[in-house]
Amino acid sequence: MRPLIGITCSRRIVEGWGPDSPGDTIDYTFEEYSKAICRSGGAPMLIPIAQSRETLQTILGQMNGLLLSGGPDIHPKSYDEQPLPELGEVDEDLDRMELEIAKMAFQGNLPILAICRGVQVLNVSRGGTLYQDIPTQVRDSINHLQNVDKTIQTHIVRIEGKTLLHRILRRREIWVNGKHHQAIKDLAPDFIVSARARDGIIEAVEHPSKLFVLGVQWHPEGTWEKDPYSKKLFRAFVQATINLIRKNPRRRK
């Protein structure tokens, strides 16, 4: 039996069924997330946005791990700020669902892997804040929003020693494929920084007292097929969910 791992969806409006339809809303996520989980030994399941707290509790009760996926900007009202002109697309229903499920998974000690928007959701869910727009808020920042394919590595991150991320990757520097204009500003209480870009932007965080709560600002799902460090990250996450099952066999459904 493979561990069941939930992957949060984003949503978009697509062409409607009829000629007069204003359009239909669909939940979606990119297939690379599911492929990476499958190839790493897990069983992926997508989590749509239209949820209540009760349904999220039911879903998490079946899951052995949670992957918070990439997506649009987080509305700054989630961390008590007014929106700047550079704020991009937001989806408050998505914010509500992901912030809620992140809190619940954290409190339930589920392994969490948070990617791009996901690491921002994780940080905000635990009381942290964000830069709404790196170029206008961080002096001398590098280009974190390069217009390249997701398979292209765009900049270097420096990994802190004696962290979970360092134990997984066994490197102090790697190239990553970041593509974002928001980032963590104030780190959530009790989290630690496990990697930064050379301009100081936080690129990875983790919670040292949890079995596996790790977030990265880049997109390992875009490079997992060829990049050894992306493979290691997904395999470590899935292994953490397996370890959880071994410690608590009742979680195997």
207 labelled catalytic: no
Give the residue carrying structure tokens 């270097």: 156
Chunked mean pLDDT (size 10), the chain, 253 residues: 96 77 86 98 96 95 97 97 96 97 97 98 98 96 91 96 98 96 98 97 98 97 96 98 85 54
- The catalytic residue among 75, 155, 180, 219 is 219
Tokens of 158: 């420096």
Domain CATH number, residue 153: 3.40.50.880
- The catalytic residue among 32, 203, 206, 221 is 221
219 labelled catalytic: yes
Is residue 168 within 8 A of residue 174, CB to CB? The reply is no
Task: Note down the domain range covering 245.
Answer: 4-251
Tokens of 14: 């697509």
Domains contained in the chain, number: 1
How far does Cα 56 stand from its chain's mean position? 17
pTM equals 0.95
* Dist CA 97 CA 92 (whole Å): 9
Per-residue model confidence (pLDDT) at position 253: 47
116 labelled catalytic: yes
- The catalytic residue among 9, 116, 180, 181 is 116
Per-residue model confidence (pLDDT) at position 49: 95
